[in-house]
Structure formats: C-alpha cells, structure tokens
Structure 1
C-alpha cells in the first residue's frame, strides 16, 4: 500500500505542478479546440491544445495502472513460492536505447520549436529507430529467458516480469504508431508547422513518461527498489 500511495502522490504532484504553471482556470470539457490561458501580466498566453490536456489525463490513468501492478508485485513477493529471476544484460542495452530515444525526441522538440526542418527530420528518425530497437531488444530478452528455463508459468516472479514488461511494451508500441505518423508528416511538403510542433511535443512528453516508467520497472526487477521501499517504510513508522 505504501508503494502505490507514493507513486500516486508523485503522479499527482507532477499534474498539479503542470496545472499551476499553466494557471488552468478555464473548463476545457466545455470548450472545443484549444484552451486559452491568462498570462501573469494580464495578456493572453498561447492556447493550450485540448489534446495535450487529454494526454496528461491519459498518462495519469496509465501511471495509476502501473502503480497498482507494482503494488501487487511487492505484495506477492512475500509469498513462499516466490523466487527471483536473473536480469538479462540485454536490458541494460535496451534501457540505454530508450533513454537515447527520449533524448532524441527532446532534440526534435527543440528543432521543431525553431522551425529547423533539416535537423528535425533526423532527430525524429533517430528517436523512432531507437524506440523500435528497444522493443526488438525486449523480445530478444524474453527469448533468452525462456531459453534458459524462465518460462511464464514457472513462478510468480516470472509471470510479473513478463506481464509488466509486456504491458510497458504495448504502451511503447502505441506511442510508436503516433511517432511514425509524426515522422512521416515531417517529410511532407504541405504539413502545417503548428500541427507538426504539437505532434512532436506530444510524442516527446509520452516518450519521457514511458522512460520514467521503465526506469521504475528496471529498478524493481534489479532489486534496487526493495531498499527504497524499506527506507520509506522505516520513515513512515
């Protein structure tokens, strides 16, 4: 229970911080298109697209889903039939690929903001290629584990590993569909710069969030999160 409360508190803090920065006083569910926010000096700030607000709501739901799964992971660890499984070295390579993909999209976001299409296109292609590499690497890690005898139904630790990495992989795959569409649009000659900037921005936010979730899962599988949870429990006593 402590784990899920800490995770949900972190998600809520991020959402509140973002909303406070935007000074979101309007009611976007009653409006269509974009939401125009007042600036600190009384002038109108650039409109916040409703799709971006929807993305943050979606990420909040995804964060709650993963927090429930992680909480169940910790509770199941206390069972007698639980024994850990080794972490393939390939996961380190996959983690580096996902981090570089997120960095490449941050680069693409900066180039899109300044309208530098010549630099934006390779940045998007790099981010897309590294994300695909991550998914392929995850599948290869599964194959290595199953070849070593760590199958899905062998013990609960294996089941949680395949379930959590599979769930994360599905979210990465869904983000790849949007990123692929954005990359294709970047090579189009009649694309609207505003819409392209928004697409790149949304893909970058999603990529950063999925990287944060993966780092949490990786720490969980490696056993590093156990010490952190023990420390939290000690502080909460």
Structure 2
C-alpha cells in the first residue's frame, strides 16, 4: 500500500483544524476580555498607582506587526506557488515573533530595575499578568510555526504549505489584535477616565 506524501491532510482534516483554530481563538479572546474587565474594575481601587510603560513596548509592537505582515506575505507567496519566497517570508515572520518575546523580556527587566514588581502595586501586577498571558499565546504560536516550517521545508506541496501558513497568519493576526487592545489599555486607560465612564464619583 503506497504511503501518503509527507504531511498531506485530507480536505476534511484541514476543515476540522481550521474550525478548531477558530474555536481556540474565540476562547482565547474571551479569556483576554475577562482579564481586561478585571483590569478595568481593579483600576478604580484607591491603592491603584499607575505604572509608566517602558518605550520597549513600542518596539515589541512593531515586531509583532512585522511578523503578522510577513506571515501574510508568506501565505500569499505559497498560494501563488512561489514556495522559495514563501519560506523566506515565513522565516522572517517567526524571527519577528521571537524578537517580540525578547523585547517583552527586556521591558520586564526595565520595570524590575525601576522596582516595579509583580507583587505590591496592582497596576504592576496586572502588567506582568497580561503581558505574560499574551506571551504564552505567542510561544504556543511559535510551536505551531515550527511545525508548519518543518512541512514547508520537507515537502514540495505548495498548496499544503500555503494552507499551513494561512493558519499561522490567521493566528498571528489574532495575536496582533489582542496585543493592540492590551497595549492601548496599559498605556492610555486611567483611573480617572474609568471612573468617569462608569459614573463612579472620584
């Protein structure tokens, strides 16, 4: 009995994995929303002391945006049958994701040097919690990225590579949207604004 080509999935298997990814993103999105709601509610407490965000967060945001764009370009190149170009863009996307994590760790080190620790000030605690949760989702995405890269390098199936790259790009777009929401909340939400919106007296 002939063996199936390496990594080739039937159409039903691809559809099931696409649905599974969509369900996972919905669940992860709900989780991020719940943590954001807790962040906003906790912000109105009298012991809340705002934390200045390090400039490294802007750099990490640029890395994540570049990674999302690179993976989209990789999926497009693979869909057009240009597997060599797709591989280069795909590697660039993974490199940007890794750079995002490294810059996030750098931002943590900057805050720790400023005596902003995970315990004590609730604003600092939420910063570490929210960025760590997002970082773990990026790490999980990198694991899937490595599996997709392994297929793209070991197989000449451009259609299969394009499908895997599209899934990775879709997840990275989700990570980018989640990070934009977190970044905006961490940088620009203030206790005064939250109290005003919620009708809480100062």
TM-score range, shorter chain: 0.7 to 0.9
Structure 1: which 5+ residue stretches go unaligned?
Answer: 1-32, 36-46
C-alpha contact 2:63 2:96 (8 A) present in aligned 1:
yes
- Report how far residue 232 of structure 1 moved: 7.2
Within-5 A mapping of 1:34-45 = 34=11
Within-5 A mapping of 1:123-138 = 123-138=89-104
- Indicate whether 1:117 and 2:83 are aligned: yes
Question: What CA distance in whole angstroms lies between the structure 2 residues aligned with 1:51 and 1:166?
Answer: 26
The aligned counterpart of 2:32 is 66
Question: What CA distance in whole angstroms lies between the structure 2 residues aligned with 1:102 and 1:226?
Answer: 32
Q: Find runs of 4+ consecutive structure 1 residues off by over 4 angstroms.
A: 224-234
Within-5 A mapping of 1:6-155 = 34=11, 49-155=15-121
Within-5 A mapping of 1:178-197 = 178-188=144-154, 190-197=155-162
- Indicate whether 1:220 and 2:166 are aligned: no
The aligned counterpart of 2:126 is 160
Structure 2: which 5+ residue stretches go unaligned?
Answer: 1-9
Question: What CA distance in whole angstroms lies between the structure 2 residues aligned with 1:231 and 1:118?
Answer: 54
Which residue, 159, 168, 184 being the options, matches 1:203?
Answer: 168
TM-score by length of 1: 0.74
Question: What CA distance in whole angstroms lies between the structure 2 residues aligned with 1:159 and 1:119?
Answer: 42
Q: What do residues 158-188 of structure 1 show as CA deviations (whole Å, max 9, x unaligned)?
A: 1110000000000000000111221222222
Question: What CA distance in whole angstroms lies between the structure 2 residues aligned with 1:83 and 1:225?
Answer: 10
- Report how far residue 48 of structure 1 moved: 6.5
TM-score by length of 2: 0.87
Cα 1:107/1:228, change in 2 over 3 Å: farther
Question: What CA distance in whole angstroms lies between the structure 1 residues aligned with 2:46 and 2:195?
Answer: 19
Q: After the TM superposition, which of the residue ranges 192-201 and 139-148 deviates more from structure 2?
A: 192-201
Greater RCO (CA < 8 Å, at least 6 residues apart): 2
Question: What CA distance in whole angstroms lies between the structure 2 residues aligned with 1:73 and 1:159?
Answer: 10
The aligned counterpart of 2:6 is none
